[in-house]
């Protein structure tokens, strides 16, 4: 290839990188996407192809390098360039005032000062190093002096720029911030883990920590971590003092507030809910305000970080042996309470996973009465060393499932009986197994009533086949009486078969048979989700159904072909391909086909997805609509080509508001987003 052709390709590669980096900055930092997804995907694919053909052009800051190709075997411990100090905690406003008095004793001549108040993100601290503007290292906090080098995983976090958004950057830039999982992502991960019979993550912070330490960066990418930056160090600045000796004035900052603005300019997300406070009273007002407002956020925060704004004053005050004197973490009260463990039950899920559940003496926690809490798995039981009758501490934050966090062993009754996992299934008495490398104990008897029952309940869910009236009590009877052994058996049921069931009767039998028959019209994506394939939740099912519009197309696809679908990684692809290789599952598909279920997307569905009246429009739903449930409204929007998200941003096109709309409505009005009623939505789709 000639020099001109080579130069043309290199120039095209650089242009593509610049376009994609600008689009990512607009999307993840400014929250104002300016490039349609399909355009971004097309440009990204072009860049991939060019770099594959010309590997000598690949650079560490290329957008294609966010996900590594080869899993790591281990992480290396490295020393931080600048130590990451812990913060002193203040557990109430009185302790905050005491902290203020202490630093003032160190600087008695200082008068009125400014504070910067930032929400304390409940995540995991990261230290990022940029050399000549390019991300070269990402390290966990560790002990503050050394941490683990997890650079391949850090590259997958879309809100962390691979290249700083500036010309002529300083030779070295150090950025500190918090990696975290948004609550909706955390909830979806746990839903999918529950569907697969895996142990649930206890909270978003633990989930984020576990994600960051995954050896396969492709798994990290799939979990959609986010990041807020809060500190920048330029050149050889002092710890926690971003004041630069660099001559370029645009990189010189003298206050924490200015440093946060600089971080945003450099391409980082900075928490938008920060506040510049003129006094300790302003800090108190900020703290009080967010004590309740924080529950409406899309991420968890457990307090407020307060820093003196002036860097010169920070430098004057310095550090104790453990903490900076000029910053404090003002924590909110812990959502924990003690109670008595009265018993432990063991639940068997549809995948055979056996989950221990603590049966507790009822206790008030986070505004609700808690009487049950997860014990996760055998490893957690052993870690807690829990016994019958123990006094335990239970925690519940936001919408997180209550969990037992520790045992007060000093209050243990006499002659206690240790809690252990059963050796045999509590439902079918089959021997339980704990596969090597897994935390979950499983029943592997596919005929286990609990597994069959769980599969049918999942099949009948509203977001699956939506079989109205087929609740848990009827499913239990059907399984116990041997009327169904798989979901396919549902379509052989008759009114005469159902009528003898306890409290069924003729009318209910007619309704249930009718509802089962009606489920045959549910779309291919719903059927795919209802099959209960590991890792395939509602979102992944819809994505796969769009790319593989028939069951035969999906069954014939290789893991490599499936993995090419956007957001579908190798792990999911492998699970799908393996599911279709199982003879019993092939038989199930044949039976469902004979029963008349939708195993292919209709031509109208395919057309609406790409060219519907709501194509490329993003919606958020809030409040209670007059006639539509939230899932029904979501289904209508998606069927018309639109997309539904959980949080309001500049990328939102419409907010559909019903009765008792809350903070989302306020935010949408502030951003100038069009507000729709249910009637407006239907009219937009041409249904009125």
- Residue corresponding to tokens 């376009």: 19
Is 302 exposed, middle or buried, given 0-12, 13-18 or 19+ CB atoms closer than 10 A? middle
Q: Which residue is associated with the tokens 């279920």?
A: 597
Q: Residue 147 half-sphere exposure, CB side, CA atoms within 13 Å? A: 24
Sign of CA pseudo-dihedral 436, 439, 445, 447: negative
Residue 530: count of CB within 10 angstroms of its CB: 27
Element at 459 (helix H, strand E): helix 449-460
DSSP category for residue 247: S
Nearest to 686 by CA among 626, 641, 622, 630: 641
Q: How many Cβ atoms from other residues are within 10 Å of residue 628's Cβ?
A: 18
**Is residue 434 a contact partner of residue 378, using CB atoms and an 8 Å limit?**
yes
Question: Look-up: residue for tokens 């302003």?
Answer: 282
3-state DSSP of 341-375: EEEEEEEECCCCEEEEEEEEEEEEECCEEEEEEEC
- Where does residue 591 rank: exposed (0-12), middle (13-18), buried (19+ CB within 10 A)? middle
CA dihedral 395, 398, 402, 406 (to 10 degrees): -20
Q: Residue 452 — φ and ψ, nearest 5°? A: -60, -45
Give the closest residue to 673 by CA, choosing from 648, 640, 638, 646: 648
593 vs 149, 467, 470, 476, 600, CA distance in Å? 51, 18, 21, 25, 10
Q: What are phi and psi of 550, to 5 degrees?
A: -135, 155
Neighbouring-strand partners of residue 231: 176
Asked whether the beta carbons of 683 and 64 are under 8 A apart, the reply is no
Assess whether 506 carries a catalytic annotation. no
H helix runs in 35-147, sequence order: 37-53, 93-106
Q: Which of 120, 243, 307, 331 is catalytic?
A: 120
Known catalytic residues are: 120
């Amino acid at each position: 290839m000639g020099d001109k052709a080579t130069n043309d390709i290199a120039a095209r590669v650089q242009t593509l990188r610049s376009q994609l980096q600008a689009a990512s900055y607009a999307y993840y930092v400014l929250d104002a996407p300016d490039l349609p997804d399909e355009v971004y995907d097309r440009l990204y694919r072009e860049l991939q192809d060019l770099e594959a053909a010309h590997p000598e052009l690949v650079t560490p800051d290329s957008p294609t390098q966010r996900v590594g190709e080869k899993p790591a075997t281990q992480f290396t411990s490295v020393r931080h360039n600048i130590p990451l100090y812990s913060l002193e905690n203040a557990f109430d406003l009185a302790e905050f005032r005491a902290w203020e008095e202490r630093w003032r004793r160190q600087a008695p001549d200082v008068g009125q000062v400014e504070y910067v108040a930032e929400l304390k993100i409940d995540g995991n601290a990261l230290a990022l190093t940029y050399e000549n503007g390019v991300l070269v290292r990402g390290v966990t906090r560790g002990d503050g002096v050394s941490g683990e080098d997890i650079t391949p995983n850090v590259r997958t976090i879309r809100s962390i720029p691979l290249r700083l958004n500036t010309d002529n950057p300083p030779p070295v830039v150090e950025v500190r911030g918090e990696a975290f999982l948004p609550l909706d992502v955390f909830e979806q991960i746990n839903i999918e883990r529950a569907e697969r019979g895996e142990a649930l993550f206890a909270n978003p912070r633990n989930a984020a920590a576990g994600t960051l330490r995954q050896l396969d960066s492709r798994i990290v990418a799939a979990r959609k971590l986010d990041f807020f930056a809060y500190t920048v160090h330029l050149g050889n600045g002092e710890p926690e003092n971003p004041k630069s000796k660099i001559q370029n004035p645009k990189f010189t900052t003298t206050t924490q507030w200015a440093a946060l603005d600089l971080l945003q300019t450099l391409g980082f997300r900075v928490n938008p809910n920060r506040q510049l406070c003129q006094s300790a009273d302003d800090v108190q007002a900020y703290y009080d305000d967010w004590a309740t407002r924080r529950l409406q956020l899309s991420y968890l925060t457990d307090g407020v970080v307060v820093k003196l704004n002036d860097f010169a004053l920070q430098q004057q005050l310095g550090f104790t042996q453990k903490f900076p004197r000029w910053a404090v973490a003002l924590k909110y009260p812990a959502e924990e309470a003690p109670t008595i463990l009265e018993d432990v039950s063991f639940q068997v899920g549809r995948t055979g996973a056996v989950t221990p559940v603590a049966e507790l003496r009822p206790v008030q926690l986070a505004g609700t009465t808690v009487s049950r809490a997860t014990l996760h798995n055998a490893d957690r039981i052993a870690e807690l060393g829990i016994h019958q009758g123990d006094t335990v501490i239970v925690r519940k934050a936001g919408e997180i499932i209550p969990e037992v966090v520790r045992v007060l062993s000093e209050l243990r009754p006499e002659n206690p009986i240790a809690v252990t996992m059963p050796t045999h299934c509590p439902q079918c008495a089959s021997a339980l197994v704990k596969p090597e490398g897994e935390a979950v104990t499983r029943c592997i008897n596919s005929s286990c009533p609990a597994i069959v029952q769980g599969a049918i309940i999942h099949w009948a869910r509203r977001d699956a086949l939506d079989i109205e009236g087929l609740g848990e009590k009827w499913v239990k009877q059907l399984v116990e009486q041997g009327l169904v052994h798989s979901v396919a058996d549902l379509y052989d049921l008759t009114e005469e078969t159902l009528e003898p069931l306890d409290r069924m009767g003729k009318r209910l039998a007619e309704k249930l048979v009718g509802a089962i028959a009606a489920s045959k019209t549910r779309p291919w994506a719903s059927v795919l989700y209802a099959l209960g394939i590991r890792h395939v939740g509602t979102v992944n099912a819809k994505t796969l159904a769009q790319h593989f519009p028939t069951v035969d197309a999906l069954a014939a696809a290789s893991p490599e072909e499936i993995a090419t679908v956007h957001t579908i990684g190798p792990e999911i692809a492998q699970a799908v391909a393996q599911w279709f290789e199982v003879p019993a599952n092939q038989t199930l598909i044949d039976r469902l086909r004979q029963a008349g279920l939708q195993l292919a997307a209709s031509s109208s569905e395919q057309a609406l997805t790409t060219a519907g009246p709501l194509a490329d429009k993003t919606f958020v739903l809030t409040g209670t609509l007059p006639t539509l449930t939230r899932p029904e409204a979501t289904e209508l929007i998606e069927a018309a080509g639109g997309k539904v998200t959980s949080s309001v941003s500049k990328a939102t096109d419409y907010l559909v508001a019903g009765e008792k709309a809350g903070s989302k409505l306020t935010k949408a009005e502030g951003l100038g987003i069009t507000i729709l009623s249910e009637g407006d939505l239907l009219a937009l789709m041409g249904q009125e």
